[in-house]
Chain A
Amino acid sequence: MMRTSPARMALYVIGALVLVYLILPVLIIAPISFSSARFLTFPPPSFSLRWYEQYFSNPAWMQATRVTLTVALLTVLIATPFGVAAAYAISQSKLRIMRLIHMALLLPLVVPIIITAVGIFFVYAKVGLVATMPGLVLANVMLGLPYVVISVLAGLQSFDPAQEMVARSLGMNRLRSFFAVTLPQIKSSVVAGGIFAFISAMDETIVALFISGGQYQPLTKRMFTALRDEIDPTIAAISTLMTAASFMLVLLASTRQTKGG
């Protein structure tokens, strides 16, 4: 058996420590959410579901949850077709301007989100979209678009456009050949892109802080305000549920992606 060199041992130890640092905060929330203590105490005195009860019985939290889920769902329904159409056009067209457009569609990832948020707030204030559902959805569509575009472009890279040509030479029009030939083959990356847009809308906080209000406040905005005031374990319960939801969706998206397409 080969002996592990001291340098190698050090590498293992450092690597393990960094991984603990990465994972510990994600893992710590669940036990807190099931603790009976009003304040954080270690070790937790006993098991309880009171923070979950508090979340599910609070009308404000429930309303915020409904807003979040509605916004995320509408975002996916709009961002996915927009993104797929754009990605398809970018991959097929030889127009010079497409490169520029491609870059423009990735802008939401480049511009610091605080700038986007304040800018949208000013524009919305002029057109009366502050504290409205359409305003919230539209902003999230913009933020979710890059995920759909990136994912679908990746899917289209492994797709041979000649297949669509064949369908068209056999008499299908462009639209029909897209739905019959291309879409089924890139379906996985479309679904993955949609899921990423959903997660992005579910987690979005900063834009919501500026443009949402009244009855249309998503969960993240209420959580942020609550966190500024005190560390209420109800938020641990909500966080645990959100994390579980994200992970299930990511798992779904990645199994989709590895199936090819």
Chain B
Amino acid sequence: MLALVSPALLVILALIVLPVGWLAWQSIYHDGFTLENYRRVFTEDVYWRSFALTFEISLAVTVIALLLGYPVAYLANSVPKGWSILILSLVVLPFWTSVLVRAYAWLALLQRTGVINQFLRYLDVISEPLALVHNTFGTVVATVHILLPFMVLPLYATMQKIPNDLMQAGASLGASPSLTFMRVFLPLSLPGVLAGCTMVFVLCLGFYITPELLGGGRTVMVSMLVSRNVELYNQFGAASAVAVVLLLSVLAIFFVVSRFISLDRVLGQK
């Protein structure tokens, strides 16, 4: 049996465990043991601001995705089967479109001469094009778009398991629909909320293509810090330290969440 897993395991060891280990080593060793890279990451302004911005954006994206995703999951759960299949298909459809293709689409929609600005001017709503992209706004809009399915799917899976009887029991005891929702449905859907929020937040922390293409160079997320240190400045130690801090943040989040819900629930979606 071990012989059967070994080819796959070897690939994983050689191409993810070894490289990540290499990064960790490189972050503390350069002609001798050093913590200089970490000191820089934690004290230099550029790094701090980038980490702070990344966490802010990830938090904003998670909250927006929850606010948009919850009603959609609820709707898919409360309509007849045919409709719910249609809704879920529409949710996963963009999921299977390349992230790059979607970045292009958002550029085409949001840029100064883009579809939305052209349309608004065509309708005479605005006289000057709005700055919708090459800023944090554009990054957030496109990132939420990419991560929304990761929110909707675990929410829907959790909501489906909530027995309808409970809602009827609430109603028969005289509670209004909104009270039954607040006291019965919402609490029972919280594991799905936690699973969805974790996935969206963690994936957002490591986002690269979307902020790089839609952020216009001003929205420097942590991943861009890593790539710039490698590609532009040849600062491999600094890049490695940033990568290690990012990875540890992700693992810490997974660890904390695993205390509340099973990780299978979080990772099961994709």
A-chain residues with CB within 8 Å of residue B19 when the two chains form the complex: 116, 118-120, 122-123
CA distance A25 to B243 in the complex (A): 31
Instruction: For chain A, residues 143 to 161, give those with C-beta under 8 angstroms from any C-beta of chain B.
Output: 145, 149
B-chain residues with CB within 8 Å of residue A122 when the two chains form the complex: 19, 22-23, 26, 236
A-chain residues with CB within 8 Å of residue B236 when the two chains form the complex: 122
Interface-central residue, A119, A199, A202, A246, by most chain B CB under 10 Å: A119
A-chain residues with CB within 8 Å of residue B243 when the two chains form the complex: 114-115, 118-119
Q: Give B167 Cβ to nearest chain A Cβ, in Å.
A: 14
Q: Flag B138-171 by CB within 8 Å of A: 1 or 0 each.
A: 0000000100110000000000000000000000
Binds B, one of A37-45, A53-61, A182-190: A37-45
How many contacting A-B pairs (Cβ < 8 A)?
Answer: 245
Please tell me if A228 contacts chain B, counting CB pairs below 8 Å.
Answer: yes
B-chain residues with CB within 8 Å of residue A42 when the two chains form the complex: 115, 118-119, 122
Instruction: For chain B, residues 100 to 158, give those with C-beta under 8 angstroms from any C-beta of chain A.
Output: 100-109, 111, 113-115, 118-119, 122, 145, 148-149
Q: Are A227 and B250 in contact (CB under 8 A)?
A: no
Residue of B nearest to A144 (CB): B11
Q: Give A206 Cβ to nearest chain B Cβ, in Å.
A: 6
A-chain residues with CB within 8 Å of residue B111 when the two chains form the complex: 40, 231
Q: Are B68 and A18 in contact (CB under 8 A)?
A: yes
Binds A, one of B39-47, B182-190, B205-213: B205-213
Contact residues of B: prevailing secondary structure:
helix
B-chain residues with CB within 8 Å of residue A171 when the two chains form the complex: none
Q: Give B50 Cβ to nearest chain A Cβ, in Å.
A: 13
Q: List 14 A-B contacts (CB under 8 A).
A: A5-B177, A41-B118, A98-B1, A107-B17, A115-B206, A115-B226, A115-B243, A116-B20, A118-B226, A120-B19, A145-B8, A145-B11, A231-B107, A239-B101
5 tightest A-B CB contacts, nearest first: A119-B19, A112-B206, A42-B118, A25-B105, A89-B4
> A-contacting residues of B (Cβ < 8 Å)?
1-2, 4-5, 7-9, 11-20, 22-23, 26, 68-69, 71-72, 74-75, 87, 90-91, 93-94, 96-109, 111, 113-115, 118-119, 122, 145, 148-149, 177-178, 202, 205-206, 208-209, 212-213, 223, 226-227, 230, 236, 239-240, 243, 246-247, 250-251, 254, 267, 270
